Amino acid sequence: MVPLALVFLTLVSAQGVAAPALSCRTLVPAYRASVYRSLGLTEGLFEVTLTLPDGHAAVELVGRVMGAGGGIISERTLPGASSGSYRLDWALTDLQPGDITFRAEARLGEQVLASASTVVHVVAPAQREVVLDQAGVLCVNGQRVFPIGICAADGGPLDRLASLGFGLAVRPLDRPAQAGELVTDGRMIAASGAPQDGPARGELAAAPGLGLWLVAADDVTAYEKLVAEDPYHPVMVTAEDPPAAGDVLLLPVDPEAAAAAGERVRRLYEADGYRRPAWVKVAVGNATSVGAARVAALAGALGGACGAVFDPRDGQSPEQLSAQLEALLRELAGCAPVLVGDLADEQARCADGRVRVTTRVVRFDRYVIALNTSGDPLQATFSGLRAGQVTDLATGHTTLAAADGTFTVPLGPQGTVLLSAGWPESEGPAG
């Protein structure tokens, strides 16, 4: 058996507790508490919270990971446990498809004082898997994707939209796509409502272009049915507050209040307990300025959104929207490989309230994306990084950071900059 690592985290108040109590939850894998081979996770993580009455003797805390047949995969015993939270990691290698049960017990001698359990699903590998990774980023067969989407009311071949600069087609909830429409060369995926007819739903689930299901935010029954039937596609809902259903939250943002898009994303995450990723949906009409659309989409992304969807208004066709947003679509596509990177431990900061910024790590290299939300050009000074050389990837211009790591770069009106921010020569990613 592989031993579980058991780490004490925090004290828990036991005031008013009459008997020992245990609770547990799965932290890794986070998405549907399911293990997908395409994500390549090697370790799982459980959190156990033990609460003992005041004055109660310390107990023995036992954690077991058990396979579908009840056999013990991993086990750990911690003597002398007091009230607090504990994290237990366990190996995710060589697991067979089926349910894995984690069971925690608080014992005093041979007596079990309290117990709790949770289940992790080991999903059989599929030829095509569209899932969410531990950071909430969409992954298609293990590859991270930042979806750049369009609300597409009409049907037709997906690849027509790919040629216009989009990677995701969001169909109307009440007009599910036809499986024959979702043939693609791999550049596009679609989000679609689910047909009521079971065979039609199964045919659509098997279509190569299906990326996500759509349900109404309050339709828990439909959501749970899709989760049970189809482990290989997330479910998206449109919501401004944490909904009961859904794996991905599509947040409408108003270009008229574009600069606040990132803050709206953060507030939604906080209200949802950081459980589910959010994408922004930006309405674009004939009178919408490209600058406002850029600020809304990028401010949302820099605030933590994991995708951006554009909703054409005023009867715009996909071709017209693409022409209106041509430069922005190229800009988003250029930033996408960085936007799906992990948040860096050190984050660049700018004291100018007009500037939004994020710092990401991709393959051990560090990048900064900054956005000027105002209509005026400015010189933005950044701090917070132990920076060495900073390079504007669009122009190739290099700036040497000051001894304290600060550096200054120009930002045009409603403009962005993508920077490679190297560590000081004496340091590296590990610091």
pLDDT for residue 10 = 46
Report the b/e string of 110-125 with b at 16+ CB within 10 A: eeebbebebebbbbee
Confidence band of 11 (pLDDT split at 50, 70, 90): very low
CA dist 388 and 402 (Å) reads 8
Averaged confidence pLDDT in the chain: 90
- pLDDT tens for each residue of 276-315: 999 999 999 988 888 899 999 999 999 999 999 999 999 8
Q: Check: CATH 2.60.40.2550 for 5-122?
A: yes
Closest CA to 114 of 3, 12, 5: 12
Q: Which of 14-18, 45-49, 247-251 has the lowest mean pLDDT?
A: 14-18
Q: What is the pLDDT of residue 387?
A: 76
Binning pLDDT at 50, 70 and 90, where does residue 6 land? very low
Please report which helix (H) or strand (E) contains residue 270, including its range. helix 261-271
**Model pLDDT, residue 159:** 80
Predicted pLDDT of residue 431: 44
Q: In what order do the strands lie in the sheet with 72-81?
A: 34-35, 111-122, 98-108, 59-66, 72-81
pLDDT recorded at residue 130: 97
Work out the pLDDT band at 429, boundaries 50, 70, 90. Answer: low
Q: What is the maximum span of the chain, computed from C-alpha positions, in angstroms? A: 73
- Compute the average pLDDT of residues 34-50: 94
Position 382 scores a pLDDT of 95
Residue 69 has what pLDDT?
Answer: 81
Mean pLDDT for the stretch of residues 143-147? 96
Give the CA dihedral 334, 337, 339, 343, nearest 10 degrees: -140
Check pLDDT > 90 for residue 237. Answer: yes
Domain ranges, ordered by start, for the chain: 5-122, 130-340, 343-421
Band of pLDDT at residue 155, cut at 50, 70 and 90: low
pLDDT at 43: 93
| pLDDT tens digits, one per residue of 78-99 | 999 999 999 988 888 888 899 9
Q: Helix 326-339 crosses helix 290-302 at what angle (to 10 degrees)?
A: 10
Residue 60 has pLDDT above 60, yes or no: yes
- The mean per-residue pLDDT over the stretch 235-262 comes to 95
Q: For 158-199, what is each residue's pLDDT tens digit?
A: 788 899 999 999 999 999 998 888 888 788 999 999 999 999
Q: Does residue 347 surpass a pLDDT of 50?
A: yes
Place 427 in a pLDDT band, splitting at 50, 70 and 90: low
pLDDT of residue 16: 52
pLDDT band at residue 13, thresholds of 50, 70 and 90? very low
Q: Are 51 and 17 in contact (CB under 8 A)?
A: yes
Helices (H) and strands (E) in the chain, counts: 7, 29
Write the CB contacts of 368 (distance below 8 Å, at least 6 apart in sequence).
348, 357, 358, 359, 382, 385, 390, 417, 418, 419, 421
CA trace torsion 135, 138, 140, 143 (10° rounding): -50
Least confident of 12-16, 42-46, 70-74, 162-166: 12-16
**What is residue 160's predicted lDDT score, i.e. its pLDDT?**
84
Q: Which CATH number fits domain 343-421: 3.90.870.10, 3.90.1150.10, 2.60.40.1180, 1.10.3720.10?
A: 2.60.40.1180
- Per cent of the chain over pLDDT 90 is 76
What would the mean pLDDT of 371-399 be, rounded to a whole number?
92
pLDDT, tens digit, 9 for 90 and up, residues 303-346: 999 999 999 999 899 999 999 999 999 999 999 999 999 999 99
Residue 225 has pLDDT above 90, yes or no: yes
User: What CATH number should be reported for the domain whose range is 130-340?
Assistant: 3.20.20.80
Same fold flag, 130-340 and 343-421: no
